[in-house]
Amino acid sequence: MQLSFCAIRRIIAAFLIVCWFFLGMEGFKNKCIKEQFANEEHQARIILCWAKWCGHCKAIKRKDDSEPLKEWDLFKKQNNGVINTSNGNVSIQDYEVDESPQIVKSLGVKGFPTILLVSKNGDKIPYKGPRTQQGWKKFVLQNANDI
């Protein structure tokens, strides 16, 4: 059976439409993440920037819902996504580099995992302590006056 030129063109067109649809969906997802990030720009946040392929990241953050909660996931869950400080609330967020590359780049992240405390005016304070819930909470509370 030989395909005609017209049939081949139709197959290629259908393939391109399917590819365009899925690429568009990914772009829409990234746009929603960027819009959410922009809307929270004037809020204090502690942010984990991580990568699914990073061994150190896998130790503190689960890759998907099929894995058990890890240290960062528990930190976020047990604090209901927010830490209350004397200077207001600090939102707990995380961004995976392959899902949110522009956000991670805008934060100036060079390695993974990176944890930053971002003040309401955009100042970034890097975290260098133990990768534990207690360490992260202590870090936020100690820097509450700077946010």
**pLDDT 10s digits, 87-116:** 999 999 999 999 999 899 999 999 999 999
Give the 3-state secondary structure of residue 55: helix
CA-to-CA dists, residue 71 to 20, 43, 47, 92, 128, angstroms: 38, 23, 14, 13, 16
The pair of structure tokens assigned to 84 is 């209350």
For position 13, what pLDDT does the model report?
75
For position 28, what pLDDT does the model report?
47
- Residues 54-71 pLDDT 10s: 999 999 999 999 999 999
For position 30, what pLDDT does the model report?
53
Let me know how long the chain is.
147
CB 102 within 8 A of CB 32: no
| Cα–Cα dist 101/107, whole Å | 10
